[in-house]
Structure 1
Amino acid sequence: MVITAARGRVALATGPQVRGYLGQAITLPCHYSVRTYGKTAMCWGRGQCPTFGCGSELINTNGVTVTSVGSEKYQLGGNIEQGDVSLTIKQLRKEDGGWYCCRVQFSGPFNDGKVNMNFLVLDEITTPNPSTTNESVHAQDANSVTASTFVGQTKSSNYDVF
């Protein structure tokens, strides 16, 4: 089931399987409740979430602003101060596919919120010429992206992951 379709050249991932297309951008969702947990540090990394930190760290925040970023390819486009720490990866290449980790650092030992996401970068989908086929492909369907599997502490309501 597709929950959210691509919007322009940026897709929002929101289901059990994540797919992105060469040359596009994809946004991997990660939200937490600032009202419940307060503004808190977080990071995104390549690979599944390790015991501590984010492994191969891509970007991190202090709960208010981005404090480091490994490349201009990665950005947090949401409102960090309101708990939207979704990661946008621009200009997808095949090697961008794989596991990503979002870790929100809640207080207390072994209390962090973790989301592991795996996605595949596919070749660009082209729409067939309607004059040569009886099938029609809608742009919304051709660019759909479904989201990831949430692992670890998750409390979902209104797109909150934690």
Structure 2
Amino acid sequence: MKMRTRFSMVLLCCLLAACESGSSLVEGVVGQSVTLTCTYDIAKHGVLSACWSLGAMPRFGCGSQIAATDGDHVTEESGRYKMLGRLEGGDVSLTILDAKKQDAGEYSCRVEVPGLFNDEKHSIELIIMDAPQTTTLKTDVSTKSIATTSKAVQMTSSEGLQNSSSLNGIKTKLEKHSITGSMVAIGVIFGLILVGAVIIAIIVRRRQRITKIHQQLSSVPSVSFSSTSSSLHLHHQAAAMDNIYQMDTDEYDYLP
């Protein structure tokens, strides 16, 4: 009977030991967020509840519980302790926001797997390190370097003045050329306008004279001949047409 009892105790201890995972070490930095990883096979077990505890995980329950989930939603969070993992993917990790020195220590995660002594437990040792300090380098400026800098500034100023005067001269020349070019352009435009006005006046005057000639021709009485003298009639018409062209030519010859 005693042998059976001892065997049962040993078997129970083995089962409990088998359910606990090995502890891991995580390092964090003061002022930064640090994540303690805890996951389970959701494809194998389905959606499971989980909890986080400060210190070692007790045999049953979650001890000093600081965060918990029912598998679908986060049911408990404390202060800077947040469960920000993908619950639908079996990620029940714990994130500590704005880590501080006093956050260092042991943390435990329990995933409640159905069945006797089937819970998965993870122990994590957290170490918080100081934030790296930035050092400022101080440089001593000697009198010689100051004098050199002053001389360089003076040279730069004189060069700037020379460049400024050169630029002013170039600008003046460009303004003169611009004014001369503008005057030439204005003269050309006025010349073109005058030529166009003269041409228009000539065309108008010629049209007026042509109109006057046509009016004079329309006032001349027509002469008709009998059918027996058709050749004479044609001769007079041709002569009349020649007179018209001569009058037209004479009018154009007297144009100013």
- Bucket of the pairwise TM-score, normalised by the shorter protein: 0.5 to 0.7
Distance 1:16 1:49 in 2: 14
| Matching residue of 1:61 | 69
Query: CA shift at 1:52, angstroms?
Result: 1.1
Distance 2:123 2:25 in 1: 12
Report the TM-score when normalising by structure 2: 0.43
Q: Which protein, 1 or 2, shows the higher relative CO under an 8 Å CA cutoff with sep ≥ 6? A: 1
Distance 1:59 1:18 in 2: 18
Q: 1:88 aligns with which of 82, 95, 98?
A: 95
| Matching residue of 1:109 | 116
| Matching residue of 1:24 | 32
Q: 1:39 aligns with which of 43, 47, 63?
A: 47
Percentage of identical aligned residues = 41
- The answer to whether the Cα contact below 8 Å between 2:24 and 2:124 also exists between their aligned partners in 1 is no
Aligned: 1:74 with 2:89: no
Distance 1:123 1:63 in 2: 35
| Number of residue pairs aligned between Structure 1 and Structure 2 | 117
- Which structure has greater helix proportion? 2
Query: CA shift at 1:125, angstroms?
Result: 2.0
Query: CA shift at 1:72, angstroms?
Result: 3.0
- The answer to whether the Cα contact below 8 Å between 2:24 and 2:123 also exists between their aligned partners in 1 is no
Q: What is the DSSP-based 3-state SS (H/G/I as helix, E as strand, rest coil) of the residue aligned with 1:36?
A: helix
| Matching residue of 1:120 | 127
Q: What is the DSSP-based 3-state SS (H/G/I as helix, E as strand, rest coil) of the residue aligned with 2:72?
A: coil
1:31-63 deviation digits (Å, cap 9, x = unpaired): 111110110110011001110122110110101
Distance 1:121 1:40 in 2: 30
1:115-162 deviation digits (Å, cap 9, x = unpaired): 0001111111236679xxxxxxxxxxxxxxxxxxxxxxxxxxxxxxxx
* Structure 2 residue identity aligned to 1:100: Y
CA RMSD of aligned residues (A): 2.2
Give the ranges of 4+ consecutive aligned residues of structure 1 lying more than 4 Å apart after TM superposition. 127-130
* Structure 2 residue identity aligned to 1:73: R
1:51-108 deviation digits (Å, cap 9, x = unpaired): 0122110110101001112x23011111112101111001111111100001000001
Query: CA shift at 1:111, angstroms?
Result: 0.9
Distance 2:70 2:121 in 1: 16
Distance 1:19 1:58 in 2: 20
**Where in structure 1 are there 5+ consecutive unaligned residues?**
1-14, 131-162
Q: 1:50 aligns with which of 37, 49, 58?
A: 58
- The answer to whether the Cα contact below 8 Å between 1:65 and 1:81 also exists between their aligned partners in 2 is no
